[in-house]
Amino acid sequence: MDWMKLIHTSGPRADAASLRAGDDVRVWFRILEQGKERLGQFEGTVIRARGSGPSRTFTVRRVTHGEGVERVFPMDSPGIARVDVLKRGKVKRSRLYYLRRAIGKTRIAAAEGEGAGGTRPPAGDAAAAPQPPAGPGAAPHEAAEAPPRQPHPEGASVAPDRPADPTAAPR
C-alpha cells in the first residue's frame, strides 16, 4: 500500500483549495488541552501557497502588537477545522515576502476592483505636492536652515566610548 495514502487519508479540502497569495483569511485550528478540544483562530494575509497534492502548504502572516507572526499550515491537516476567506487579494506576485519589511499599512488591492485607498496624489498634480517649509525672511522657494549646532558642555567632540582617532586602539 502507498505510504502517502496511509498518512493522508482524507481528500483535498474544499475551503482551502482556492487560497492564493494576497487573500485575507481566518484559519480555525484545533487545540487539544487536557483532553479537551477547542478552536483557535489565526487571521492574516496569505503570503505564500506552495506545493501540490497532499503536501501543499500555505503561509499566513499577521502583525500583532508591532511584531510580525507567520505560521505555516498544511492544506490537508486534520488540525485545521476550517479556513474562511475574508477578502480576495489581487497581487502580481506569488510570494509576498516584501510584506515582511513593509512598515505601516501596506495595502493589497481587492480582487473585485475596488481601489487600494492610498494617499499618494496623482503624478501630474503639482498643487498637492508637499512644499518645503519657509523660514522668516526666506524666499518662498528656499527651505529654512537648521540652527547652528551647540558645542558639547564638557568640550568633548566625540562620544566618551569612542576614540577620537579611528586608527587608535580601543580603551
pLDDT value for 108? 76
pLDDT value for 134? 55
pLDDT tens-digit map of 123-134 = 544 454 555 555
pLDDT value for 116? 43
CA distance 40 to 27: 8
Question: What CATH class has 13-100?
Answer: mainly beta
Strands 67-74 and 57-64: antiparallel
**What is the distance, to the nearest Å, from the Cα of residue 98 to the centroid of all Cα atoms in its chain?**
7
Q: Euclidean distance between the first and final Cα of the chain, in Å?
A: 70
In what side-by-side order are the strands of the sheet with 67-74? 67-74, 57-64, 36-50, 24-33, 80-87
Q: What is the DSSP string of 18-61?
A: T--TT-EEEEEEEEEETTEEEEEEEEEEEEEEE--GGG-EEEEE
Type of residue found at 11 = G
- Report if pTM > 0.75: no
71, 20 Cβ separation under 8 angstroms: no
Residues with pLDDT less than 50, the chain: 114-122, 124-126, 128, 158
pLDDT value for 144? 56
84, 52 Cβ separation under 8 angstroms: no
pLDDT value for 85? 92
- Which residue's entry shows cell 499550515? 73
- Which residue's entry shows cell 477547542? 38
pLDDT value for 51? 87
